[in-house]
Chain A
Amino acid sequence: MREVAIVGVGMTRFGELWESPLRNMFTEAALTAIDDAGVDHIDSMYVGAMSSGLFVHQEHIASLLADYLGVAGIPSTRVESACASGGLAVRQAVIEVGAGVSDIVLAGGVEKMTDGVDAIDALATAADQEYEAFHGITFPGLYAFIANAHMHRYGTTREQLADVAVKNHDHGSLNPKAQFPFKITREAVMNSTMVAWPLRLLDCSPVTDGAAAVIVTSMDVAEKLGRPIVKVLASGHATDGLALHSRTDPTTIPAVGRAAEIAFKQAGLTPEKIELAEVHDCFTIAELVVTEELGFVERGRSGEAVSSGETRLGGRIPVNTSGGLKAKGHPVGASGVAQIIEVVEQLRGSAGDRQVEGARIGLTQNMGGSGASCVVHILEGVS
C-alpha cells in the first residue's frame, strides 16, 4: 500500500448549534478542510454518521452532503460504526488512497443531536437492542458496568474517575472549538447528578452538534501542495461482540487492544514512542480502560496515572489535549475525525496554548458502542 498523508483539516465549533442544520455543519467543515489543503477537487468522499436516521430522520446523507458540498457526481459513501463512524470514515479514505483507487479523498463526520430526539434512546441503538437496551440499560449504564467492575477488581476510586473529567476540562479550556471551554473541579464532578452508579453527569460526554473533515491524499499529491504534511503511519481496526455481557472480562475493552496491536505493528512502533493521544473518553472510565488497552499504563493502574498527572499536558503521555469528548463535545459521527484533527494540529505545531512541544508522533483511538468497534490511527508529522 502506498504512503498516505493528511493535508487539510476543518471542523465546526462543537456545541448546541441551534442555527445549523446537519447539511450546513458538514459543508462548513468540509470546505474548511478543502481550503486548508489547497486542493482544487476531491475524487471521492466518506461521511461518518452514527444515526442521522434517528436524530434528524434523514438517511442517504452521503449523496445529500456531496450535493451540498457542490461535488454531486463523485462517489460518496456513508460509514457507520456507532461512535466510531468518524474514525472509520478516515480509515476508509486512507485505504482508498493507499490502494491507489483515488488520490484526494475527503473523510468527514457529522452528527446533529439536538433536534428534539430522545438522545438516550437513539444512542442505545449502538447496544444490542433485544438483549441490552430492551432491559433498560443505557450507554452510561454500560460504561458504569465497566466502572464498577474496574473499581471492584483494581480498587480504582471515584476520585480517579473525576480526575479524568477535571483533566479534560483543563485541556478543553484551551480549545476555542470546545463545547465546554472551561475548567471544573473534582468536587463538582463528584457532586453532579447521578446518571448510572457510579457515573455522574460530569463523568459523561455531552450531547453535541458538530462536524469535522480531513483531506487524505497520496504523498505525491501532498508534496505538491506545499502544506504541512502529516503521514498516516498506521490504521488499525477491530470489532467485538456488541453486547458487553458477551465479553469475558468487563474490566477490559479487547477491541481497543486488538486495533492498537495492529496499528503498532503496521507503524513498527511501541506505545512508548507515542507522544500524545486523543482517545475515546465518552465516559471517564472509558479513558482509563483505553489507556490501559493502548499500553500507556499497566492494567489496573490507569486511575493512579491520571491522578498523578501522567496523562495531562506536560505529563509523560498527554491524553486528550483537545479536551476530549468530555469537554470538546461528542457529536458521535464527527468525534473520530475531530480526534485526527487535534493530532494533526499538534504534529503541525499549530495547537496554540495546548501544544505538546515538539510532538512528532501521535495516536487516535475512536470506538463504537461499549467497545464493539475500535479504530486506531498513528500519525507522524513530516515537515
Chain B
Amino acid sequence: MITPRYTREIPQRYHLEAGKCTECNFIAFPPRLICPECGSREFEQISLSPSGKIVTYTVVCVAAEEFSTETPLPIAIIETDEGARLTAQVVDCDPEEVEIGKRVRLIFRCIQKEGLAGIRQYGYKAVLEG
C-alpha cells in the first residue's frame, strides 16, 4: 500500500515545498536535515517557483507498466527560477517541441493511478510556456 508514503510527500508534490539553507542559500528539494554544500542544519521553508527551464530531456517510449499507455512520454530535468532542479513530465505538447533551454511552467496533474482500484497520486508536471 502506497498511501502512507504518498501522503508524506504531499507538501513537495502539491506545492513544491523545499528547504533553503540559511547559511549558504542552497535549496534542498525535497527538504533535507543537513546542507550538502555547507553542513548547516538550519533551513528556511520555501515553496519553489512553478516556472523554470529545461536542462535536459528525453521522450520515454518504453515505460514501466504504470505509464505504458502514456508513451511517448516526454520527461525533463527542470531548473526552477531559484536554481533548484527536479524531474518532471512535460505534457500537453508534441514531444518534438521539447528542447533543452525552453521555458516551462509547473502545473498540477495526476501522476499515477495505481490501477482502477487504488489511490490517484497527484503532483507537478511541466507545460511549455508560450
Contacts and interface: CB of A to CB of B under 8 A. Distances in A.
Interface of A: 118, 120-121, 124, 130-138, 140-141, 144-149, 152, 193-199, 241, 243-246, 250
A166 B76 CA distance: 29
Given A121-B66, A130-B5, A245-B87, 17 more contacts: A118-B64, A121-B65, A131-B12, A132-B87, A133-B64, A135-B75, A135-B89, A136-B66, A136-B73, A141-B58, A148-B100, A149-B55, A195-B62, A196-B62, A197-B61, A245-B77, A250-B56
Contacts of B70: 136
Interface of B: 5, 9, 12, 30, 36, 55-67, 70, 73, 75, 77-78, 85-89, 95, 100, 111-112, 121, 123, 125
B112 A148 contact: no
Contacts of B56: 145-146, 148-149, 152, 250
A131 B30 contact: yes
A195 B57 contact: no
B58 A197 contact: yes
Given A134-B112, A136-B67, A196 B59 contact: yes
A344 B97 CA distance: 48
Judged by DSSP, the binding face of B is strand
A145 B85 CA distance: 13
Contact of A136 (B75, B86, B95): B75
A245 B55 contact: yes
Contacts of A198: 58
A152 B58 contact: no
Contacts of A246: 85
A152 B100 contact: yes
A79 B121 CA distance: 33
Contact of A124 (B59, B64, B121): B64
A148 B63 contact: no
A144 B67 CA distance: 17
A197 B125 CA distance: 19
A250 B77 contact: yes
B100 A149 contact: yes
A194 B36 CA distance: 37
A136 B60 contact: yes
B86 to A, nearest CB: 6
B62 A138 contact: yes
A246 B55 CA distance: 12
A250 B65 CA distance: 27
Q: Which 9 A-B pairs have the closest CB atoms?
A: A144-B58, A149-B56, A245-B85, A136-B67, A197-B59, A245-B77, A121-B64, A194-B61, A120-B64
Contacts of A145: 56-58, 77
A206 to B, nearest CB: 13
Nearest to B57: A148
A131 B124 CA distance: 11
Nearest to B98: A197
Contacts of A146: 56
A195 B63 CA distance: 8
B87 A250 contact: no
B125 to A, nearest CB: 8
29 contacts: A118-B65, A120-B63, A120-B64, A120-B65, A121-B65, A131-B12, A132-B87, A135-B88, A135-B123, A136-B66, A136-B67, A138-B60, A138-B62, A141-B75, A145-B77, A148-B56, A152-B56, A195-B62, A196-B61, A197-B58, A197-B95, A198-B58, A199-B58, A245-B78, A245-B86, A246-B85, A250-B55, A250-B56, A250-B77
Q: Which of A146, A152, A241 has the most CB of B within 10 A?
A: A152
A131 B86 contact: yes
Nearest to A128: B87
B74 to A, nearest CB: 8
Contacts of A149: 55-56, 100
A196 B89 contact: no
A130 B55 contact: no
Contacts of B95: 197
